[in-house]
Amino acid sequence: MKLHVFLVCLGLMSVAEARTFTVFNACPFTIWPAMFTDLTAGTAVPDFPTGWEADPMTSVSFTVPDNWTAGRIWGRRDCNFTITSGPTCLTGWCNGGLECDPHTGTGVPPASVAEWTLQGDMSQDFYDGASSFCFAILRCGLTKMPVSLVDGYDLPMMITNDVNCPTAGCAVDLGPICPSPIQGPFDSTGFPVGCSSACAANLDGDPTNSANCCSGSFDTAATCPSSGVEFYSFFKGNCPNTYAYAFDESSGTALWTCSSNLNADYTLTFCP
């Protein structure tokens, strides 16, 4: 009896202390997923390398502490890690090579990013799939990250879970339909594998004071409406459940929550 109670407690404890994340590459080509934790926001990190190769139709699962804070996973395309300096991938490359540097390996645009803060405010998990920027984490006050890190789009991705919380992300491949001013980069066959945000593409010429970047005199929700962000409606129209600009919480379909008590396990699928 005592042993039984003990084992039940042990079971509850392990449920409460970790989640299982699965990253599935459903793309018909190899990608190199990458993972980063903002260590200034929290020290809990997943029990897995910060970058790996994912062959088509393969998945990995790993344990994530249930208070993972300001974590992100994205996919990299067309990598070559024999390159020793500069971009190692056509999209989403990071400092460090295959495994991103834990402190500086935040990723370089354009890249679609999935972001999580587990056990955030009010015992909620927060998560989003960002079609254009790591805005959510920045703007939700969960932590601060420099604005010009990962943004734009390079792969369709969806975040699902096992407890019926909302699905985030976008299954549409935006590269081929991306408007030409923000389209690219292009692979060796000329195929567009990415689509930059107007901010990342620097369309208005001054990233430090930009309506597209919500920076400088445009750095509040009031001074940076989505109507002032070029190509916002392209991203949000094609990918309504993604985080498409700095203050996209107001759309009601950008940042998702799931009660932390449900101990959700999450699956991130590339090319769903």
Ligand X SMILES: *[C@@H]1O[C@H](CO)[C@@H](O)[C@H](O)[C@H]1NC(C)=O
* Closest separation in Å from C-beta 39 to ligand X: 9
* Closest separation in Å from C-beta 44 to ligand X: 3
30 secondary structure, DSSP code = -
Nearer to ligand X, 80 or 250 (CB): 80
Nearer to ligand X, 87 or 225 (CB): 87
CA dist., res. 218 & res. 39, Å (int): 28
Nearer to ligand X, 80 or 233 (CB): 80
148 Cβ contact partners less than 8 Å away, ≥ 6 residues apart: 109, 199, 200, 207, 213
* Closest separation in Å from C-beta 43 to ligand X: 4
Nearer to ligand X, 90 or 155 (CB): 90
Contact 125/161 with Cβ under 8 angstroms? no
Nearer to ligand X, 59 or 143 (CB): 143
Contact 75/41 with Cβ under 8 angstroms? no
75 Cβ contact partners less than 8 Å away, ≥ 6 residues apart: 25, 31, 32, 33, 34, 54, 91, 92, 111, 112, 154, 155, 157, 270
Return the CA Rg of the chain.
18
CA dist., res. 179 & res. 195, Å (int): 8
* Closest separation in Å from C-beta 80 to ligand X: 4
Please classify residue 205 by burial: count the beta carbons closer than 10 Å to its beta carbon, then call 0-12 exposed, 13-18 middle and 19+ buried: exposed
CA dist., res. 234 & res. 249, Å (int): 17
Alpha carbon 255 to its chain centroid, in Å, reads: 12
Nearer to ligand X, 102 or 225 (CB): 102
Nearer to ligand X, 65 or 184 (CB): 65
Binding site for ligand X (CB under 6 A): 42-44, 65, 67, 69, 80, 82-83
* Closest separation in Å from C-beta 149 to ligand X: 20
The residue of the chain with the least Cβ separation from ligand X equals 42
CA dist., res. 141 & res. 132, Å (int): 18
* Closest separation in Å from C-beta 42 to ligand X: 2
* Closest separation in Å from C-beta 83 to ligand X: 5
